[in-house]
Amino acid sequence: MAMLRKAQIIKHDREGPGIYRMDFFSPEVSSRVIPGQFIHLKIREEGYHPLLRRPFSIYDVDNERGLFSILYRVVGLGTRIMAKRQPGELMEIMGPLGAPFTLPEEKGKIILVAGGMGFAPLHFLIKKLLKRNMEAEIILGARKAEELMGENDLVQLGVNFILATEDGSRGFQGQATDLLDKKLREGNYDYLYSCGPYPMLKKVASLALSRGIKGEVSLEEIMACGVGACLGCAYPAKGDKGDLTYKKVCQHGPTFSLEEVSFHNGPGD
Amino acid sequence: MAMLRKAQIIKHDREGPGIYRMDFFSPEVSSRVIPGQFIHLKIREEGYHPLLRRPFSIYDVDNERGLFSILYRVVGLGTRIMAKRQPGELMEIMGPLGAPFTLPEEKGKIILVAGGMGFAPLHFLIKKLLKRNMEAEIILGARKAEELMGENDLVQLGVNFILATEDGSRGFQGQATDLLDKKLREGNYDYLYSCGPYPMLKKVASLALSRGIKGEVSLEEIMACGVGACLGCAYPAKGDKGDLTYKKVCQHGPTFSLEEVSFHNGPGD
Amino acid sequence: MDLGIEIAGIKMKNPVMSASGCFGYGEEYSAFYNLEEMGALVVKGTTLEPREGNLPPRIAETPAGILNAVGLQNPGIDYVIKKELPALKGAGTPVIINIAGNLEEEYLELAKILDPLEEVQGLEVNISCPNVKQGGMAFGTDEKAAGSLVKAIRSVTSKPLIVKLSPNVTDIRGMALAVEKEGADAISLVNTFLGMAIDIHRKKPVLGNLVGGLSGPAIKPLSLRMVWQVSQEVKVPVIGMGGIMTAEDALEFIMAGARAVAVGTANFVNPYSIPEIVKGIRKFMEEHDYEDLSPLVGAAWKGV
Amino acid sequence: MDLGIEIAGIKMKNPVMSASGCFGYGEEYSAFYNLEEMGALVVKGTTLEPREGNLPPRIAETPAGILNAVGLQNPGIDYVIKKELPALKGAGTPVIINIAGNLEEEYLELAKILDPLEEVQGLEVNISCPNVKQGGMAFGTDEKAAGSLVKAIRSVTSKPLIVKLSPNVTDIRGMALAVEKEGADAISLVNTFLGMAIDIHRKKPVLGNLVGGLSGPAIKPLSLRMVWQVSQEVKVPVIGMGGIMTAEDALEFIMAGARAVAVGTANFVNPYSIPEIVKGIRKFMEEHDYEDLSPLVGAAWKGV
Ligand SMILES: Cc1cc2nc3c(=O)[nH]c(=O)nc-3n(C[C@H](O)[C@H](O)[C@H](O)COP(=O)(O)OP(=O)(O)OC[C@H]3O[C@@H](n4cnc5c(N)ncnc54)[C@H](O)[C@@H]3O)c2cc1C
Ligand SMILES: Cc1cc2nc3c(=O)[nH]c(=O)nc-3n(C[C@H](O)[C@H](O)[C@H](O)COP(=O)(O)OP(=O)(O)OC[C@H]3O[C@@H](n4cnc5c(N)ncnc54)[C@H](O)[C@@H]3O)c2cc1C
Ligand SMILES: Cc1cc2nc3c(=O)[nH]c(=O)nc-3n(C[C@H](O)[C@H](O)[C@H](O)COP(=O)(O)O)c2cc1C
Ligand SMILES: Cc1cc2nc3c(=O)[nH]c(=O)nc-3n(C[C@H](O)[C@H](O)[C@H](O)COP(=O)(O)O)c2cc1C
Ligand code: FES
Ligand code: FES
C-alpha cells in the first residue's frame, strides 16, 4: 500500500528540451511497482509553495539495482524546482499508487498509442509485455519532432514504432489517431493501451471501441491526496450499473478500461 | 543606493552549532558597503514561501577579492533554507542598505558590546576602527559558551576582549552589561557601539547615557521592504524636537545614536 | 500528562481531529497508521441522497493553498450507514458525521436517521460549504437562518451538535453567538474561503465549478483570527481549523482559544500529519511542564 | 499596441498602479526605476492629522503572505501637501491620494483640502483599513454607512473618486453597489484580510496590534474571486489587487474583470515588480495579438 519514504536521486539527466529523467534508488518501490502505477512526489522539504505533491508515472524499473525512474516535462513551478535537484539528494516519495494496467491473459497482438509524455507509463508497460513475449507495436505522436518521446528506448527494445507529428516535422504528418485509424483498418489487434492528452485519448477510445477492440487508457487529473481520500481527482466513468459516475483517477485509475471511462463531459469539452 | 543583483556564494562554512558564514563575490557591494549597513537577501528563487527577503548585517569585507560576508544563525524557515545553499550558487541581493555607524571624528577609547550574533556588524566595524588606529575593546556576551561569537576573529585581529556567559560556562558569569558596568567604572571611554538582543541594548544604553558616554546601537526589527516604503520596521525614537516618534530601522537605522533611540515601549516590555 | 479533552460530551484522547472531506471515511489513512491515534474522526460531508459532485477539475493549487470544488460528492446517508460506518466501529476513535443539505428538512431527516446510531458520537452540521449552489451557504452567512436551523436540528437529536461555520462573513462572532444560543454544543471554525483561479491561456476559471474553497496554510492567519475572536465570545468549545500543518500551528489555535483542532489539507501533503501533530503537542507540553491542555486553551488572550 | 486605459477620467499609460501603503510616496522606488513606467502612483493612506501608527512588531510573515499592522502611520495631510506632493509633480504618472479617517468629517475635510490641487489626479477613499481601532473599518463593512460616506465626499469634490473596499464582508457585491450608487467613479478591490499570528513561545499575538491585515500571494484566490463577482455587477471600473506578483497574476485579475491592477506586497520582494508586470502584460498582448486591453477585461466571464 501507499507508503512514504525518502529515496535518493541516483541520476538526473536532461533528455530533451525541458525533459528530464530522474532515477531513484528504492528497492521497496522498484520491487513492487507494476506498470500504470504512479508515485506522488514531494517537491520541497521546506515551505509550503508548492504545497501539494506531484504525481508521476513509473517510466522504468531496474530491479537488479533497486532503481525506478520517472520521465517528466517541465511545465510549471513544481517541475521547474525538480529540474534543479541534484543526484545524491533525497526526495520523499509516496507510493506506488493507483491501479496498474491489466495485462491480457492470452497472447495477442497489442497496439499502444502514446501522445508526447504519455509515453512514460507505456515504456514500463512495453518492457513487461516483452518479458511475457507479447507482440507489441506503438504509435508515437506529438505536435512537433522535439516533443516526440521514446524513440531511443524503442530502438533499444527492438519494438516496432511509427511516428506522427502534427506539423509533419518527423514521420507521418497528422495526429497519432490518424495513424491508429489506418493501423486498425489494416491489422488485427487484440488489445490497446494509450496514454496522452485528453482529446487524443477520446479519439483513441472511440476508434478502438467502434472496432470492438478492448483496451485501457491512463488518465491524468489534478490530484490532492493521491490516495482516494479527497475526491479531488474525479473523472466521469461508468459505474457498476452502467450509470455515469465520478471515479477517482488516483485510486480507481489512473488506468481505466476503454468501456469504463467516459469522455463525454471531460475537461476539454 | 539600494540596487539589486545576483551574487555568487564563494564559501559557506559552518562556524558552530547552527551558525554559518557565507561569503559572496560582489565587488559592487564590497567596495561600497560601510560598517552597520545590511543586505536584504532573497531566500528562494522559485515560490512564495518564505515570501519576504531577510536582512543580514555585513560581517566582513575583502576588498581585494571583491568579497563580502555575513554571519548568521539558523532560527527559522529562511535561515534553514539558506543553510543548505552551496558555494557556486547565486543569491539575489538588495543593498547595501541602511544608515551605517558613524565613526568618531577624534581618536579616543572605544568600547563595544556584542550580544551573541550582535557581533556580526561589530566585527566589520572593528576592522574599520583598527584601520584608523582607534583603540577598541569589546565585551562578548551570550547565554552560554557555544553562543559566544567572535573569539577567533578577535584573537586574529589582536583586539582586547572579555567574555561573559549567563550560565558561567565561559568567562565572567553574568551578563555582558554587568561587565560593561564594571568597565565603565574603571576606565574612561569616549564612545560605545553595541549590537545584540533588545534587553541588553536597553541596559547598555542606560549605563552609557548615565555616564555621558556617546555611542550607537544597531537594532533589529522585522522588515518587509527594507528601503523605507512600508513603515513595517518602525522603532520608537526621539524626533527632531525630542518628541517620541517611530523611525524606520531599515532607513534611519539600523544604527541609532544612544540619545535618539527609545527603549521605553519596545517589543520586550 | 494527559492530552485528553472533552467536546460536547465526546471524550477524545487528544485534541487532534480530521477535517471533514479531507479524510474520506478513514479507510485510506488507516493504511498509514492506526486511527486510534486520532482525537476524533470527522467523515466527509454526507447528504440525504447521493451527490455526484462537481465537474472536474476540482482542485487548483494556489500559493500555500488549494482551491477545491468537490461539491459534496458522497454516496448518501443510507450507503454511509450500511457500508462505511460498520468499518469504523472498531476504529478506536470517536466518529463524527458531517451533515449537509440544501433544505432544513434534509438536515432534520439526517439528524433523525443518525440520532439512534451508537457508532456515531456526534454530528457536525455543515452550514458553510461554498461549493454547492443551492442552500448550505445561505445558512452559513445569515445569523437568523443559521440559528433557526440549529434550533430545529437540536429538537430532533440528542447527539452532540457541532456547528461548522463559514468564514465568508462580516461578523463571525455574531454567527457563533447565534448558533450557540440555539443549542450548538460546540463550534467548528472554519470551512473554506470562497476563491477562484483563472487560466489565462484558456481565459476561463480553472475549476469546473468556476469558484472553490480555499484551504491550507495560506488561510491560517485568517482562521486563527476567527478562532481568537469567537472563543472570547462563546461559552461552548471551539474546534479550530484552517491551515494547520504542524504541532506549532495547532498550538497557535489552542492558544487562540480552540479546545480541539482539525487537520484537513495537511493530510494530502503528509499522510502522517495527525499523529505527528499529536506527538508535537505532547512534546511541547512535556518541555513546558503542562499536565493537561486546559491552561493552554486561550492562553494568548487570557494572558496566562 | 496600446496598454493605455482610463479610470474615472484618469488617463494611465498602462493598467499597473502601486497599492497604497506599499510604495511610500514614491521616493524609495524611484531609486530603482523611473516612475513614469507606472500606470499610476497611489500613495500611503493619509489622514487629517499626523498618525504615529501601531506598536511594533508591525509585520509578521505567514505562508505566502504577510500580516501588517502599520496603523496608518503618516505625517498628516498638511505635511504631505507641503513636502511629499511637490516632489511628485514631475513624476510623469498620475498621483492618487489614499485618504482615511475615523469620522465622516475627517474624510470631508481631506477631500475639500485636496480638491483644488492640480498635482492630485484622484482620491482613493480607504474605508477598509483593518488596523485602526476606531472607524474606518465600520464604513467598510456596512452598506449604508459606506454609501452615505461616499455621497458626502462626492458632494465636496470633483476629483475622480475611487472607493477601496474591505474584503472582510459577507457580500462584497452589496458593498460595491452601495458605493457605486452614491457616486464612486471606480472601485478598488481589495484591502487586506483581517488575520493574526501567535507566538507560541511567548503565548501572545506576534503583532503589537494583536491583529493585522493579510496581503500577498496567499490572498490572491480570494481577492480574484471578489473582483470576478463585483465586476459583473457594477458599471464603474474595478481596480484589482491582492497578491499580484507577476504579469500572469495581473492578467488573471484583468480577465476577472479589473480594468486596472495595483501591486502592493510584491514591491517588497522585488522592487522592480511594477515595471516587470507592465512588460509581461505587453508581451502577452503581443503574443496573442491584442491591440488594446479592452477585450481582455472580464474575458473570463464574458466568455470571449
Ligand atoms: C497519474 C499521473 C501520472 C503522471 N505522470 C507524468 C509523467 O510521467 N511525466 C510527466 O511529465 N507528467 C506526468 N503527470 C503530470 C504531472 O503530474 C504534472 O505535469 C505536474 O504535476 C505539474 O506540476 P508543476 O508544478 O510543474 O505544474 P503546475 O504549475 O502545477 O501546473 C502546470 C500545468 O500542469 C497541470 N498539473 C498540475 N498539477 C497536476 C497534477 N497533479 N496532475 C496533472 N496535471 C497537473 C496544471 O493543470 C497546469 O496545466 C502525471 C499526472 C498524473 C495525474
Ligand atoms: C538590520 C538587521 C540585521 C541583521 N543581521 C543579522 C546577522 O548578521 N546575523 C543573523 O543571524 N541575523 C541577523 N538579523 C536577523 C535575521 O534577519 C533573522 O534572524 C532572519 O530574518 C530570520 O529568518 P528566518 O526565516 O530564519 O526566521 P523566521 O522563521 O522568519 O523567524 C524566526 C525568528 O526570527 C525573527 N525574525 C524573522 N524575520 C526577521 C527580520 N526580518 N528581522 C529580524 N528578525 C526577524 C522572528 O521574529 C522570529 O523570532 C538581522 C536583522 C536585521 C533587522
Ligand atoms: C478537498 C476538501 C473537501 C472538503 N470537504 C468538506 C466537507 O465535505 N464538509 C465540510 O464541512 N468541510 C469540508 N472541507 C473543509 C475542511 O473540512 C476544512 O474546514 C478546511 O479545509 C480548512 O482546513 P484545512 O486548511 O486544514 O484544510 C473540505 C476541504 C477540502 C480541502
Ligand atoms: C504594509 C502595508 C501597508 C498598507 N497600507 C495601506 C494604506 O495605508 N491604505 C490602504 O488603502 N491600503 C493599505 N494597504 C493595503 C494595500 O494597498 C493592498 O490593498 C493590499 O496589501 C493587497 O494587495 P497586495 O497583496 O498586492 O499587497 C497596505 C498593505 C501593506 C502590506
Ligand atoms: S487525489 Fe484525492 S481522491 Fe484522488
Ligand atoms: S522595512 Fe519597510 S520601511 Fe523599513
- Nearest 5°: the CA angle C31, C37, C43 is 70
Class of domain C5-296: alpha beta
Residues of D labelled as active-site residues: 129
What is the spatial distance between Cα D202 and Cα D57, in angstroms, rounded to a whole number?
14
Which of A4, A48, A246 minimises the CB distance to C245?
A48
Give the pLDDT confidence score for residue B38 in this predicted structure: 98
User: How many Cβ atoms from other residues are within 10 Å of residue D105's Cβ?
Assistant: 11
In chain B, which among 47-76 make CB contacts under 8 A with chain A?
A: 47-50
| Interface ipTM | 0.96
Please give the residue of chain A at the shortest CA–CA distance from D63.
A48
D203 touching chain C per CB within 8 A? yes
pLDDT (mean) for C34-47: 96
CA of D25 to the centre of ligand 2 (A): 27
Cβ of residue B253 lying under 6 Å from some atom of ligand 2: no
Q: Is the minimum distance from the CB of B223 to ligand 6 under 6 angstroms?
A: yes
Atom of ligand 2 at shortest distance to CA of D57?
47
Which residues lie closer than 8 Å to A212 by C-beta, 6 or more apart?
none
Whole-number Å distance, alpha carbon A230 to ligand 5 midpoint, is: 5
Domain extents for chain C? 5-296
Distances (CA, A) of A117 to A23, B77, D142: 17, 35, 53
Looking from the CA of residue C220, the nearest atom of ligand 3 is: 25
Mean pLDDT of the A26-54 span: 96
Per residue in D20-77, pLDDT (tens digit) is 999 999 999 999 999 999 999 999 999 999 999 999 999 999 999 999 999 999 999 9
For residue D265, pLDDT beyond 60:
yes
Q: What is the pTM of this model?
A: 0.96
How many A from CA of C20 to the centre of ligand 4?
A: 34
What spacing in Å lies between the alpha carbon of D179 and ligand 4's midpoint? 20
Q: Is the pLDDT of residue D267 over 80?
A: yes
**C61/chain B closest Cα distance in angstroms:** 12
Q: Which of C17, C18, C22 to mutate to test the pocket of ligand 3 (most atoms within 8 A of CB)?
A: C22
* Residue of chain D with shortest Cα separation from A46: D63
C-alpha dist (Å) from residue C225 to A155, C219, C257, D113, D211: 61, 10, 10, 37, 7
Cα distance between residue C138 and residue C130, in whole Å: 10
**DSSP state for residue C50 in the 8-state scheme:** -
| pLDDT more than 70, % of chain D | 97
Q: Does residue B219 line the site of ligand 6, with CB under 6 A? A: no
Query: What is the DSSP annotation of chain D?
Result: -B--EEETTEEESSSEEEPTTSSTTSTTGGGTS-GGGSSBEEPPPB-SS-B--PPSP-EEEETTEEEE-----B--HHHIIIIIHHHHTTSSS-EEEEE--SSHHHHHHHHHHHTT-TT--EEEEE---TT-SSSSHHHHH-HHHHHHHHHHHHHH--S-EEEEPPS-SS-HHHHHHHHHHTT-SEEEE--PEEE--EETTTTEESSTTS-EEEESGGGHHHHHHHHHHHHTT-SS-EEE-SS--SHHHHHHHHHHT-SEEEE-THHHH-TTHHHHHHHHHHHHHHHTT-SBSGGGTTHHHHT-
Q: C217 contacts in B (CB within 8 Å)?
A: 49
The pLDDT value given to residue D123: 97
d(CA D20, CA D163): 12
**Contact assignment for D222 to C169 by CB distance below 8 Å:** no
User: Cα–Cα distance between D255 and A145 in angstroms, integer?
Assistant: 34
Name the average pLDDT for chain C.
94
- Calculate the CA D133 to chain-centre distance: 20
Give the number of the atom of ligand 2 that is nearest the alpha carbon of residue B56. Answer: 5
User: Relative to the alpha carbon of B228, which ligand is closest?
Assistant: 6
In chain C, what residues touch D172 (CB-CB under 8 Å)?
Answer: none
Give the residue, out of D16, D17, D18, D20, with the most ligand 4 atoms within 8 A of its beta carbon, to mutate for a pocket test. Answer: D20
For residue C33, the one-letter residue type is Y
Pick the atom of ligand 3 nearest to C223's CA. Answer: 22
Instruction: Identify the pLDDT of residue B2.
Output: 56
Partner-chain contact C300 D169, CB within 8 Å: no
Chain D: residue whose CA lies nearest to A50: D64
Whether residue A265 has pLDDT greater than 60: no
pLDDT tens string A209-253: 999 999 999 999 999 999 999 999 999 998 777 788 899 999 999
CA of D192 to the centre of ligand 4 (A): 6
DSSP SS3 for A56: strand
The predicted-structure confidence for D13-35, as pLDDT tens digits, reads as follows: 999 999 999 999 999 999 999 99
- Interchain contact, B51 vs D29, CB within 8 Å: no
Which of A54, A57, A221 to probe ligand 1 with, by most ligand atoms within 8 A of CB? Answer: A54
pLDDT tier at D131, thresholds 50, 70, 90: low
How would you write A103-167 as a 3-class SS string? CCCCCCEEEEEEEHHHHHHHHHHHHHHHHCCCEEEEEEEECCHHHCCCHHHHHHHCCEEEEEECC
> Over 50: is that where the pLDDT of A268 sits?
no
Q: Which of residues 126-155 of A touch D (CB under 8 A)?
A: none
In angstroms, what is the span from residue A20 Cα to ligand 1's centroid? 14
Which atom of ligand 2 is nearest the CA belonging to B70? 8
Tell me which residues of chain B, numbers 202 to 261, contact chain A at a CB-CB cutoff of 8 Å.
none
Which of B46, B49, B81 has its CB closest to that of A48? B49
Q: Do C68 and A232 touch (CB under 8 A)?
A: yes
Residue D41 CA, ligand 4 centroid: distance in Å: 13
Which of B49, B52, B75, B77 has the most C C-beta neighbours within 10 Å, making it the best mutation to test the interface with C? B49
The answer to whether the CB of D34 falls within 8 A of the CB of D26 is: no
Q: State residue C303's pLDDT score.
A: 75
Q: List pocket residues of ligand 1, CB cut-off 6 Å.
A: A 38, 50, 54-57, 70-73, 75-79, 117, 120, 220-223, 254; C 61
Residues of chain C contacting A267 with CB distance shorter than 8 Å: 56-57, 208
Pocket, ligand 5, Cβ cutoff 6 A? A 223-226, 228-233, 248, 250-251
Residue B230 Cβ < 6 Å to ligand 6: yes
Contact partners of A by the rule of 3+ C-beta pairs under 8 A?
B, C, D
Domains in chain B, please, with CATH? 3-97 (2.40.30.10), 109-265 (3.40.50.80)
pLDDT above 60: residue C103: yes
Which residues lie closer than 8 Å to D202 by C-beta, 6 or more apart? none
Collect all residues of chain A within an 8 Å Cβ-Cβ radius of residue B77: 46-47
Give the ligand with the smallest distance to the CA of B229: 6
Over the stretch C64-84, which tens digit does the pLDDT of each residue have? Answer: 999 999 999 999 999 999 999
* Ligand 6 neighbour B41 (Cβ under 6 A): no
Q: Distance (Å, rounded) from C-alpha B47 to C-alpha A43?
A: 11
Lowest mean pLDDT among A146-160, B222-236, C222-236: A146-160
Q: Does D287 touch chain C (CB under 8 A)?
A: no
Q: How far away is chain A from the Cα of B17, in angstroms, using its nearest Cα?
A: 20
Single-letter amino acid, residue D229:
Q
Neighbours of C, requiring at least 3 CB pairs below 8 Å, are A, B, D
Active-site amino acid positions of C: 129
- The bridge status of strand A172-173 relative to strand A191-195 is unpaired
| Full pLDDT tens readout for chain B, 269 residues | 558 999 999 999 999 999 999 999 999 999 999 999 999 999 999 999 999 999 999 999 999 999 999 999 999 999 999 999 999 999 999 999 999 999 888 788 999 999 999 999 999 999 999 998 888 999 999 999 988 999 899 999 999 999 999 998 999 999 999 999 999 988 889 899 999 999 999 999 999 999 989 999 999 999 999 999 999 999 998 877 778 889 999 999 999 999 898 876 544 44
Q: Which of C200, C223, C294 to mutate to test the interface with D (most CBs of D within 10 A)?
A: C200
pLDDT tens, position by position, C194-213: 999 999 999 999 999 999 99
pLDDT of residue B26: 96
Q: B202 and B263 in contact (C-beta within 8 Å)?
A: yes
Which residue's CA is the closest to the ligand 5 atom numbered 3? A228
C125 near C154, Cβ under 8 Å? no
Predicted local distance difference test score (pLDDT) of residue B269: 42
Q: Tell me the nearest-neighbour CA distance from D196 into chain C, angstroms.
A: 5
What is d(CA A191, CA A111) in angstroms, rounded to the nearest whole number? 6
